Structure 1
Amino acid sequence: MGIAEERITRLHQLAHEATASGDFDLAREYVRLARRVAERNRCGLPKSFRRFICDECDAYLRPGVNARFRTQSGGHVVVRCDCGATKRYPY
């Protein structure tokens, strides 16, 4: 694991902790920084991190706090952020 991947992992942890404590602006800043690190080093964000990020407003999503997570009968998870953005992925 390179330095960039380690930094992205640490930023994921920090965003999770900031959202848990209610500091959504700080969590958003961590998400933006992680995206910037991934772009500069040409490595993608891990799937476990991407699934909890809003593509529209860069918020770190917490089920029941600032996002709705629903399952559909077709085998999809629908994630809706407070900003109104919707994301779907199979499970």
Structure 2
Amino acid sequence: MNDTRIAEERIERLAEFAERSARAGDDERARESVRLARRIAERHRCGLPRRFDRFTCDACDAFLIPGRNARVRLQEGSHVVIRCDCGATERYPYRD
């Protein structure tokens, strides 16, 4: 099996584990999973899944759960604005 494929599978499992940990309230374990997934992606030069990348904070490595530790707003019909509790803000375009 290709090394990149193994890395992608491991990143996917870490993403699922980070989400489960964050929903269970274990934020520190979720942060460690996010950090490890990012490190694996950098080492093997493969990207993170879009859903995982957009729901993690680049500043504090938290797995973002809307309503719990993140605010999600729509901006004038063209962007989704996600703000983490740490104050970091990300904007992503969307289509109708």
Q: TM-score, normalised by structure 2?
A: 0.92
Instruction: Give the Cα–Cα distance (whole angstroms) in 1 for the partners of residues 77 and 15 of structure 2.
Output: 30
Looking at secondary structure, tell me which structure has more helix per residue: 2
Count of aligned pairs: 91
* Alignment match of 2:64 (pick from 35, 55, 61): 61
Map of 1:18 onto structure 2? 21
* Alignment match of 2:81 (pick from 64, 78, 81): 78
The structure that has the greater radius of gyration is 2
Q: Percent identity, aligned pairs only?
A: 65
Map of 1:34 onto structure 2? 37
**Unpaired stretches in structure 1, ≥5 consecutive residues:** none
Instruction: Give the Cα–Cα distance (whole angstroms) in 2 for the partners of residues 39 and 51 of structure 1.
Output: 17
Amino acid in structure 2 at the alignment position of 1:69:
V
* Alignment match of 2:51 (pick from 48, 66, 77): 48
Give the superposed CA RMSD: 1.0
**Unpaired stretches in structure 2, ≥5 consecutive residues:** none
- Stretches of 4+ moved more than 2 A in 1? none
User: Deviations for 1:22-76, whole angstroms, at most 9, x for unmatched residues?
Assistant: 0000000000000010011011111111000101000000000000000011410
Q: Which region of structure 1 is more displaced relative to structure 2, 66-75 or 27-36?
A: 66-75
